Structure 1
Amino acid sequence: MKLERSTTLSLNYLDEGAGETTVLLMNGASLPLTFWGSFASSLAEQYRVVRFDARNAGDTEFSGGFTLGDIAADAAALLEHLGVERAVVVGHAWGGRVAQVFARDFPHRVQGLVICGTGGQFPAIDTTSLREEMVAARKAGDRATWASKMEAIYCAAGFRQRDPAAFESVADVIWNAVPNRAARWDMRAYPSEGYWGLATVPSLLLYGREDKFGTPQNAEALQGRLADTRLVMLDEAGHFIVREQESRVLAELGAFIDGL
């Protein structure tokens, strides 16, 4: 489905489920809405689930520069379009930055805030050489090597062995994703001090102990700034925590929603 925001922006989205509570999912940087996969499908069995492609991802059509605030405004416009007054906002990775900006700019739209593996406040663990090898494998069309490097960078050790189906689902989405190179995120706009840990709504922080980007240091710092929050650190989870520990994340999210 598409929401025509302007003559230059056609926002791609999915609206699934029919529960009383609406869950708004915000994707990681340049990841398409299909990244959520079975996680979103499971949520939709109990809640209304809305997800969308940001301006630089998936099937959203846009060219030009954009900020975190622009994506937050897109999300607000989408909820308005769908007749949703408030939602539980779940941001994964880069989407957690957008979710915090959304909670700051549109607090009346936020029933609760869930941040999963969001970094940016403290340096990531250096994966430069692995990322160079992953990019080289991608250019060579060597999916096996690419997948191995992708797991080493973004996932907890042994994810592919523990849950081959989930790993292949994630790998397929990322391998086939085509980022919109015509859309450029302005990283200088909306520095983290303008939104990091400023949300006043009830919040839940879900982080993986083996996350190289949303490191435990980021999680603890965010917990220290939020007034009404709970931090859950999950074992055997990296940056793709929502797919690596899907059942546990769903359980924690469900308990959080029940308590709102």
Structure 2
Amino acid sequence: MSENGTQTVRTGGIRLSYRSWGAEEGVPVVLLHCLGEDGEDWRGPLISALAGTHPVYALDLRGHGESDWPGSYGMDDFVADLRGFLDELGIGKAILVGHSFGSVVAYLFAQEHPQRVERLVLEETGAMRPVRPPQEVPEPPPGTPLFDWEVKAQWTRQRNDPDPRWWDRLQDITAPTLLVGGGDRSHLPQEDLELMAERMPQARVITIDGAGHLVHEARPMEFTRAVLDFLTES
């Protein structure tokens, strides 16, 4: 364990850092952060609420935090990392909770490995359809980066021209899924959440009005209650 309380696993030649809390029994919950953050972003009431009944893991995605910054950031890389992480920890099936970029990793994983996802929570997720007009690939900001800026550059290219299967295979997600929107203060088109849910066999959308893109930070108690209610539904 590092001085920051993180542990590591190696998979596919990549070192991945993570934090863990909670019970030894129960379905494991894996938290996946947004672009530019790391697992620390999840500290708060959600972890406190989940840790009584679930093992909880907050992963630093590649290119972020204390995980390796290998320079290769295709979405298939992130999906493979998540699979390897679960394998290394001996987790056969997990609940995935993802925010923004992390939520895309979560649902792409659920497309590829539906048998390994118990439930899926997608906070302010993005619909992977072509962006028109395309976003410009940004230049890195000055100073010491908090994450590998190449993640942002490669994500922008993939977001502009995504693999069609990422949209087409939403129907392959068999896990019950909750999509959480931040309402009219979000920069994401909220109607996309409804379109995504329509393509998934067991999905629904809730909106936490006024929360914006950072729902679990702006409205932590409301977000936590929505997740807990969803996880305890029969």
TM-score (norm 2): 0.80
Secondary structure, aligned partner of 1:61: coil
Distance 2:33 2:163 in 1: 18
The 3-state SS of whatever aligns with 1:54 is coil
Given the alignment of the two structures, is residue 179 of structure 1 paired with residue 147 of structure 2, yes or no?
yes
How many Å separate the matches in 2 of 1:66 and 1:121? 16
Q: Which residue of 1 aligns with 2:65?
A: 58
What are the residue-to-residue correspondences of 1:11-50 with 2, within 5 Å? 11-18=16-23, 19-42=25-48, 43-50=50-57
* 1:108 corresponding residue in structure 2: 115
Question: CA-to-partner distance for each residue in 1:66-97, whole Å, 9 max, x for gaps?
Answer: 22121122112111211211111111111111
Amino acid at match of 2:192: N
Identity of aligned residues (%): 25
Amino acid at match of 2:95: V
Does the CA-based 8 Å contact 1:88-1:111 persist in structure 2?
yes
Residue 193 of structure 2 is aligned to residue 240 of structure 1: no
Say if 2:183 and 2:209, in contact at 8 Å, map to a contact too: yes
- Deviations along 1:208-229, one digit per CA (max 9) or x if unpaired, are 1134333311111112212211
Cα separation, partners in 2 of 1:229 and 1:87, compared to 1, 3 Å? same
Unaligned runs of 5+ in 2: 1-6
Cα distance between partner residues in 2 of 1:97 and 1:181: 18
Indicate conservation of the 8 Å contact 1:24/1:50, yes or no. yes
For residues 125 and 45 of structure 2, what CA distance do their matches in structure 1 show?
A: 18
Distance (whole Å) between structure 2 residues aligned to residue 211 and residue 242 of structure 1: 14
Q: Quick one: which amino acid aligns to residue 99 of structure 2?
A: H
* Pair 216,189 (structure 1): closer, same or farther in 2 beyond 3 Å: closer
Q: Which runs of 5+ in 1 are unaligned?
A: 142-175
Give the aligned CA root-mean-square deviation in angstroms.
2.9
Q: Indicate the residue corresponding to 1:148 in structure 2.
A: none
Q: Please tell me the residue identity of whatever aligns with 1:89.
A: L
What is the identity, as a one-letter code, of the residue corresponding to 1:204? L
